[in-house]
Structure 1
Amino acid sequence: MTLTIWASLALVCMLGAMSPGPSLVVMAKHSLANSRLHGIVASWAHALGVGLYALITMLGLAVIFKQSPLLFTVIAYAGAGYLAWLGVKSLLSKGGVAAKLEAGQPASLGEAARDGAMISMLNPKLALFFIALFSQFVAVGTDLFSRSVIVLTPLLIDGLWYTLIAFLLSSPAIVDKLRHHGVWVDKLSGVVLIALAVRVVVTLQ
């Protein structure tokens, strides 16, 4: 794999990671409602999910997704259901972000890791991203080193991007500003997550 080809791969992965979506909502919520560490844990759990998608594509399973619309539809609906579940949880939250900040009762790191991993593994947008864009780079990497680079590049870019998000959103200055409006952070997150779930379902019709 040449440096030029790798740069193209890295650029595509950066654009994919930076595009707003449900993953950003979940990472932001954990960073704001819990702690910087929670945001980082969620970020790298999400990145592992991204790396797994890259590995699956690398192994040729993307062909199955292309040839089996039913399988892709099942994954898409499962992803929409998980997004809706997260959204309803946020809307029904009694204390919201502000209460968690005041009471010092963060979610567990296991919950942060679970949400990070699930939001990537059940995100049909991510599956489509790798099928439509990432798979074109698989043909140029036939040796073990190139294949490793192809898998690790999206994983590391995704993890580093959301780690940066976690650092920015968990800074004391931002937390102080959001402390008195924390309940609305939960409500807004819930609305966005449910809207994203509805959009997935609509696009499948």
Structure 2
Amino acid sequence: MISVEFLITSLVVVLVPGTGAIYTVSIGLAQGRSASTYAALGCTAGIVPHLLATVLGLAAVMHTSAMAFQVLKYAGVAYLFYIAFATWRDKSAFSVDSSAAGTTSAGRLIGKAFVLNILNPKLTIFFLAFLPQFVEPGAERPLLQLLGLSAVFMAMTFAVFAVYGLVAHAFRRRVVESAAVQRRLRYGFAAAFAGLGAKLAFTGK
């Protein structure tokens, strides 16, 4: 059974801006509504392996294995810095009228967002600590409950990220019609991704 406490807690967790939310907003501003939806879909898909790891008990291995955590962590750090560098370099990223603004394929947008979340080891640890709290004590089928909780969390993640993207799209032309604003947004999002990478690098288990 999905409790009200689980829904409220999950909503609060999903609403807190993180790597996926920042990426979705940046895509919404740069490429519009459809692209931000693909980004939200990729970010949601990126949490599936972490949820499966929790449900199948593999998260316990990562929790006890410093090596596994560190390898995944630094892969995530490297990818965040790559995204930061790519955002900083792409001068057409936030140009509404740029011929290149809408050329990124759906598959590529989903893929980048998927990798962004799958390389965050904190998600596995988070789900290991978070989901079991909402499984009914003495439940006959705890695995089914975990799967149900995971499905609801994924649906909420996609819905919230999609809304973030829609809001970014709504302000797109007003915000980025100025070349100076485009440049500031590009540097700002690049700094945000670099900051997230630095934060992850100094994060322990």
Q: TM-score range by the shorter chain?
A: 0.7 to 0.9
Paired residues of 2:14 and 2:156 also in contact (CA < 8 A): yes
Query: What's 2:187 paired with?
Result: 187
Q: 1:154 to 1:14 in 2, by over 3 A?
A: same
* Identity across matched positions, percent: 20
Q: Deviations over 1:11-53 (max 9, x none)?
A: 2322221112221221011111112111101101211222332
Give the alignment of 1:27-42 within 5 angstroms. 27-42=24-39
- State how many pairs are aligned: 199
User: In structure 1, what is the Cα distance between the partners aligned to 2:126 and 2:80?
Assistant: 18
Q: Which moved more, 1:26-35 or 1:124-133?
A: 124-133
Structure 1 match to 2:153:
154
C-alpha displacement of 1:128: 2.9
Gaps of 5+ in 2: none
Distance 1:75 1:34, change over 3 A: same
Shifted more, 41-50 versus 175-184: the winner is 175-184
Q: Is the 8 A contact 1:83 1:193 kept in 2?
A: yes
How many Å separate the matches in 2 of 1:189 and 1:92? 12
TM (norm. structure 1) is 0.87
Task: Supply the distance in 1 between the matched residues of 2:150 and 2:39 (Cα, whole angstroms).
Answer: 19
Which residue identity is paired with 1:156? A
Which amino acid in the other structure matches residue 190 of structure 1? A
Name 1:177's counterpart in structure 2: 175
Q: Taking structure 1 as reference, are residues 96 and 41 closer, same or farther at Cα in structure 2, changes over 3 Å only?
A: closer
Distance 1:51 1:24, change over 3 A: same
Report SS of the residue matched to 1:97.
coil
Q: CA deviation at 1:111?
A: 1.7
Q: Is the 8 A contact 1:22 1:196 kept in 2?
A: yes
3-state SS of 1:20 partner: coil
Distance 1:38 1:142, change over 3 A: farther
1:8 counterpart = 2:5: yes
Query: 4+ runs of 1 displaced by more than 4 Å?
Result: 138-142
**Mapping of 1:110-149 within 5 angstroms?**
110-138=107-135, 140=137, 142-143=140-141, 145-149=144-148
Q: 1:77 to 1:153 in 2, by over 3 A?
A: same
Q: Quick one: distance in 2 between partners of 1:11 and 1:54?
A: 19
Q: 1:93/1:40 Cα in 2 relative to 1: closer, same or farther (>3 Å)? A: same
Cα distance in 1 for residues equivalent to 2:7 and 2:166: 22
Shift of 1:68: 0.8
